[in-house]
Structure 1
Amino acid sequence: MSPNEQILQYPLAYETALEPAAKWAELRGTCPVATITVPDGSQAKLLTRYDDVREMLADPRFARKDLTDGTTSAAADTSEPPFSVPKHGEEHQRWRRMVGRWFTAKRMAALRPQMTAIADQLLDEMTGRGSSGDLKAHFAFPLPVYVICDMLGVPAEDRDLFSYWSDNFLNLSRYSAQERQTAVGELVAYMSGHIAAKRAEPTDDLLGTLIEESSGEGEALTDAELLGTGIGLLVAGHETTANMIGKMVAMLLADRTRWERLLENPSLVRSTVEEALRFDANGGFGLRRFLTEDVEIGGEVLPNGTTVVCAMGAANRDETAFENAAEMDLARTPNPHLAFGAGPHSCLGQALARTELQVALEVLLRRLPSLALDIPATDLERLEGLLVGGLSKVPVRW
């Protein structure tokens, strides 16, 4: 059976936690628009070539599926909770403009000292327990949620609550449907009260700034939109960044020469972060979109209503877009990877994620130059159940 006639089970199989699916290269070469069966039993089309994935992400005919239209097939992206944030058209762009003003380079630079302080505190606690441990549990997982709590003006004593809620939202196997429903209710109740307090007494954090800046422009964000913004930041910005910190460090330690090169030349931290994002072969399910009209892509005409999954990890290994794509080049530039998507729905918080990854790497290099994996890289295990890709543990010694 030719690749074009196969119906593949998705997600695809991987041999090790850090290596790409062997099928990626074959699909890019011979079947760039493959037919797959997703976990709910429905079929979709999988894109693996860089140009096709980028085109899809930027094309308004590839839309997100609303969860309220009664669709139960793969076209219904049940990975996305129904937060009250505009998803389409001018309303979505209005929301992006208002929230995006907060994620400026100047604002991220201002956040760096506090991020660094949090990272140092976490390493103080981790190293105080001994000479080895799980980098993910003690450093990578708490760092982003602590940063997000600071951005939202959440007191430090409530950070653990937010860690639990975030994990509950995205882990499909650890918690029951009832536990997830309860967690959603708890977070909504907490954030609703939090927003009400900020309306009464404005602050200079993200929510306070959005309330103050939008109120004077005739396009104020509603409480529902503010709630969706706060919850969306937690859900989209915690697990993804936490898992990326763990994967990035594992990639660098899997080949010790990479870590040594960074110790010798810390100026490579920024380009290393971008290359880790590109090189990541464990990005999770991928982005699901559906067609609003017939579209030709990859030489195939896909009919209106087709569900399409774009594999950004596969696209980021495309030799037609990246020279020596199978090699991790810490100095690679330019690096137009698709880890944050592309087009009008690209990741709004990518400046924050980049800053967190850079700070995490800078602090680890400074504090733990002797850092090493405590098990062979081939023994690292993928995290099961999460919609975003990650490692279950990152055992290290120092």
Structure 2
Amino acid sequence: MTQGDQIDYPIPPIDAIEPPPEWERLRQQCPVAHVRLPSGDQAALLTRYDDVRQVLSDPRFARSADGAARVSAEGTGVFDRRRPGVPQSGDGHQRWRRMITKWFTAKRMAALRPAIEAMADQLVDDMVERGRPADLKANLGFPLPVWVICELLGVPASDRERFSYCSDTFLNLSRYSAADMEAAHTEFAAYMAGHIEAKRADPGTDLLSDLITGTDSAGERLSDDALVSTGMGLLIAGHETTTNMIGKMMAMLLADRERWEQLLADPALVRTAVEETLRYDANAGFGMIRYVSEELELADGVLPAGTTAVCSMASANRDERIFDDAGEMDLTRSPNVHLAFGAGPHSCIGQSLARTELQVVLEVLLRRLPTLELAVPAAELPLVEGLLVGGLREVRVIW
């Protein structure tokens, strides 16, 4: 491992758009760095694209294990917990992923797209009726992913608020106490257990009903613990992360009027624009953790067995070795091999859903509110503090 002064991680963002200058320094001088986590435990921070991709793509390494560094001080954050009943690596994990992934195919996303568009249109209607200025995150970015993930799990609309609170608590490093986090886990597990029982008695056409009755390639059904853990994982992947990305995407695109005008002139760029905002995101949060159970040689150093590696996909996505003009936002960039959703056997299951939601939001806003602009300079947009996924507290806009 490259030697150097130990730094505190996560590295705080400087504003809504620009990355911390430490990223470039670490990529150039110390791509495998010693860091101290909020818990006080030590880890290795990877900031170059090739190193991050190699570790994330290695099927041997899981998110957690005995002896792994804890993220939060009390060891109660979502990355510190194992999901009961869900294998974290190996063949069992891949069988579990295959059961889930079939719900996120291109065909299913195409079928779901009109419903997502209708939801977005309804939320824009409500926002316009309330008047300007408006908080785009609160009015559109926050509710839309909740509605969609609750729809997938067959959760009634009346329970959306409970889901959003649990998601926020799971992902916080500092805003909630250990007792709050534990209570949220207990509440969510109890709710999901009851919801599973209700679905078992009266199954619907939702993902959860399918998982209750379905079997994996070995002919085995998911246990109740695995079903609860699956619901928690989909909530985290499907709500807070996408909520924050909607706000960040719009902030990035509206920060420079030429970007918004380029999209208005050529709406066919929506897909590549979404991918570029995912790559360009300077507030992507903590990154992904992998416990390196055996010595691993990287291009830029060696990770000894027992190392907890923190993979900064956001820094990797700014690696000048991979991306031409990495510090510039190019809405036409293609191909765009960013790592925003990870890589390999643990890459984000819901990435096709997230892409669909981001594309729909952008298409609806371009169509409905072409005069949209930020109500304050981008540098003054308030950042969320303590959230593992990173984001903006609010995105105030006028039109």
What band does the TM-score fall into relative to the shorter chain?
over 0.9
What CA distance in whole angstroms lies between the structure 1 residues aligned with 2:96 and 2:7? Answer: 38
What CA distance in whole angstroms lies between the structure 2 residues aligned with 1:317 and 1:112? Answer: 31
SS in 2 for 1:52: helix
| Contact 2:99 2:216 survives alignment (8 Å) | no
SS in 1 for 2:33: strand
The reply to whether residue 345 of structure 1 matches residue 315 of structure 2 is no
SS in 2 for 1:224: helix
| Contact 2:68 2:308 survives alignment (8 Å) | no
Q: What residue is the counterpart of 1:154 in the other structure?
A: 155
Tell me by how many angstroms 1:376 deviates: 0.6
SS in 1 for 2:336: coil
The alpha-carbon distance between structure 1 residues 216 and 8, as it changes in their structure 2 partners (threshold 3 A), is closer
One-letter code of the match for 1:100?
T
What CA distance in whole angstroms lies between the structure 2 residues aligned with 1:326 and 1:56? Answer: 24
SS in 1 for 2:169: helix
The alpha-carbon distance between structure 1 residues 198 and 121, as it changes in their structure 2 partners (threshold 3 A), is same
The alpha-carbon distance between structure 1 residues 284 and 126, as it changes in their structure 2 partners (threshold 3 A), is same
One-letter code of the match for 1:87?
Q
Tell me by how many angstroms 1:175 deviates: 2.8
The reply to whether residue 335 of structure 1 matches residue 336 of structure 2 is yes
Q: Deviation digits for residues 195-228 of structure 1, max 9, x if unmatched? A: 1122122211111122333289722122221111
SS in 2 for 1:214: coil
Give the total of aligned pairs. 394
SS in 2 for 1:109: helix
One-letter code of the match for 2:13?
Y
The reply to whether residue 137 of structure 1 matches residue 138 of structure 2 is yes
SS in 1 for 2:130: coil
The alpha-carbon distance between structure 1 residues 340 and 204, as it changes in their structure 2 partners (threshold 3 A), is same
Tell me by how many angstroms 1:333 deviates: 0.7
The reply to whether residue 36 of structure 1 matches residue 35 of structure 2 is yes
| Contact 1:10 1:36 survives alignment (8 Å) | yes
Q: Within 5 Å, which residues of 2 pair with 1:32-181?
A: 32-66=31-65, 69=66, 73=70, 78-80=77-79, 81-84=81-84, 85-181=86-182
Q: Within 5 Å, which residues of 2 pair with 1:281-292?
A: 281-292=282-293
Tell me by how many angstroms 1:294 deviates: 1.5
What CA distance in whole angstroms lies between the structure 2 residues aligned with 1:339 and 1:330? Answer: 16
Tell me by how many angstroms 1:167 deviates: 1.5
The alpha-carbon distance between structure 1 residues 304 and 215, as it changes in their structure 2 partners (threshold 3 A), is closer
Q: What residue is the counterpart of 2:232 in the other structure?
A: 231
The alpha-carbon distance between structure 1 residues 181 and 302, as it changes in their structure 2 partners (threshold 3 A), is closer
One-letter code of the match for 1:42?
D
Q: Once structures 1 and 2 are overlaid, which stretch shifts more, 76-85 or 193-202?
A: 76-85
What CA distance in whole angstroms lies between the structure 2 residues aligned with 1:309 and 1:229? Answer: 23
Q: Within 5 Å, which residues of 2 pair with 1:293-304?
A: 293-304=294-305
Q: Runs of 5+ in structure 2 lacking a partner? A: none
The reply to whether residue 19 of structure 1 matches residue 18 of structure 2 is yes
SS in 2 for 1:171: coil
What CA distance in whole angstroms lies between the structure 1 residues aligned with 2:106 and 2:345? Answer: 19
What CA distance in whole angstroms lies between the structure 2 residues aligned with 1:10 and 1:264? Answer: 41
The alpha-carbon distance between structure 1 residues 331 and 153, as it changes in their structure 2 partners (threshold 3 A), is same
TM-score by length of 2: 0.94
Q: What residue is the counterpart of 1:305 in the other structure?
A: 306
Q: Deviation digits for residues 281-313 of structure 1, max 9, x if unmatched? A: 111111122211122213422211112111111
Q: Deviation digits for residues 46-80 of structure 1, max 9, x if unmatched? A: 111111111111123433213xx366656979432
Q: Runs of 5+ in structure 1 lacking a partner? A: none
Q: Within 5 Å, which residues of 2 pair with 1:232-251?
A: 232-251=233-252
Q: What residue is the counterpart of 2:391 in the other structure?
A: 390
SS in 1 for 2:214: helix
One-letter code of the match for 2:210?
T
Percent identity between the aligned chains?
60
RMSD of aligned alpha carbons: 2.0
One-letter code of the match for 1:379?
E
The alpha-carbon distance between structure 1 residues 215 and 337, as it changes in their structure 2 partners (threshold 3 A), is closer
What CA distance in whole angstroms lies between the structure 1 residues aligned with 2:92 and 2:78? Answer: 22
SS in 2 for 1:119: helix
Tell me by how many angstroms 1:13 deviates: 4.1
Tell me by how many angstroms 1:378 deviates: 1.0
SS in 2 for 1:296: strand
What CA distance in whole angstroms lies between the structure 2 residues aligned with 1:237 and 1:189? Answer: 20
Q: What residue is the counterpart of 1:7 in the other structure?
A: 6
Q: Deviation digits for residues 4-40 of structure 1, max 9, x if unmatched? A: 4222222224332211111111221222111222222
The alpha-carbon distance between structure 1 residues 138 and 114, as it changes in their structure 2 partners (threshold 3 A), is same
One-letter code of the match for 2:366?
L
| Contact 2:249 2:277 survives alignment (8 Å) | yes
| Contact 2:13 2:283 survives alignment (8 Å) | no
What CA distance in whole angstroms lies between the structure 1 residues aligned with 2:197 and 2:37? Answer: 41
